Amino acid sequence: MPAATAPSVSPSDTSVPPRSWWWGFALYAAISTFHVTTIAVNATAVITPTKLLLMAALVIAVVWACRGIRWRTPHVLLASAIALSWLGDGAGALFPFLPELPMMLLFFGLAHLVYIVLFQRHLAVRRTPAWALVYAAWWVALVVVLWPYLGALTVPVMVYGLVLGGTAASSTRCPALVVWGGALFLASDTVLAFRIFVPDAMPAWTSPLVMITYCAGQGLIAVGAVRMLQRRRR
């Protein structure tokens, strides 16, 4: 009986990323640290330019980590969510002729929808745990507390809160880094919501806190997604 032969595969199917895949994320961490520092010292001249570098650097980190590997749907979804986040970060600078907050909600809302698809269809490794219901409770509490301050933005904020909570809840099905990333992303937007709508109740240190949790959350999601996709390719 002839020996069985392994099926032929193309080089793109067997390639694995080089060990230096994480360098791009190190650059992202450095830029994030510098940006948070500019906020802490109130260096207003460079806050906006460095903010626009954040998600650009994260996309570069993903591209660097995945070089030599044929991109598939999850890679495109990850890069798209980060790109939409970049548009949300730069809503005021990129679209000065439009109201900033609604544009931020729009672009980040789209980013969260993309993340939900990525988490549910491509990164899920378990069923949604029961403790994920805490994110439903978070949404109810947020709406109740902020309701008197939302005014004309009540409906947009409620809808955005749903997709934000949906992202965090969906992340609970994924590897640990993505779970933590989803939680920190939600924490960042929660603090930001109170800074926008109840500014007098928020101390000055919550300004850099918004970006610390945001940068960490986005970074952990990206690293967790890349690592999982790498393992699957191997």
pLDDT in tens, 66-125: 988 889 999 999 999 999 999 999 999 999 999 999 999 999 999 999 999 999 999 999
Token pair of 28 as six digits: 């992202």
Specify the number of domains making up the chain. 1
Query: Is residue 191 a part of any domain in this protein?
Result: yes
180 is in which domain, residue-wise?
71-233
What is the share, in percent, of the chain residues with pLDDT greater than 70?
91
Q: Is residue 176 assigned to a domain?
A: yes
**Across 12-21, 62-71, 108-117, 196-205, least confident range:** 12-21
Residue 55 inside a domain? The answer is no
pTM, to two decimals: 0.89
SS3 labels along 22-56? HHHHHHHHHHHHHHHHHHHCCCHHHHHHHHHHHHH
Burial of 58 (0-12, 13-18, 19+ CB in 10 A): buried
Q: What is the mean pLDDT of residues 26-54?
A: 95
Assess if residue 215 is contained within a domain. yes
User: Is the residue at 57 inside a domain?
Assistant: no
16: nearest Cα among 58, 49, 65, 51: 65
- Evaluate whether residue 38 is within a structural domain: no
Instruction: Provide the token pair at 40.
Output: 């802490």
Cα distances (angstroms) measured from residue 185 to each of 66, 149, 233, 234: 23, 22, 27, 29
Asked, for residue 51, whether it belongs to a domain, the answer is no
Examine the pLDDT at 9 and tell me if it is beyond 60: no
Give the per-residue pLDDT at 8. 37
Residue in the structure block whose two tokens are 């360098």:
23
Predicted pLDDT of residue 6? 37
State the pLDDT confidence band at 22, using cuts at 50, 70 and 90. Answer: confident
Report if residue 131 sits inside a domain. yes
Report how far residue 86's alpha carbon sits from residue 63's, in angstroms, rounded to the nearest whole number: 15
pLDDT value at residue 3: 41
Distance of alpha carbon 110 from alpha carbon 88, whole angstroms: 9
Confidence at residue 118, expressed as pLDDT on a 0 to 100 scale:
98
User: What residue type is assigned to position 26 of the chain?
Assistant: A
Helix axes 44-65, 23-40, angle to 10 degrees: 170
Whole-angstrom distance, CA of residue 161 vs CA of residue 181: 17
pLDDT, tens digit, for every residue of 117-152?
Answer: 999 999 999 999 999 999 999 999 999 999 999 999
**Could you give the CA distance from residue 200 to residue 129 in angstroms, rounded to a whole number?**
37
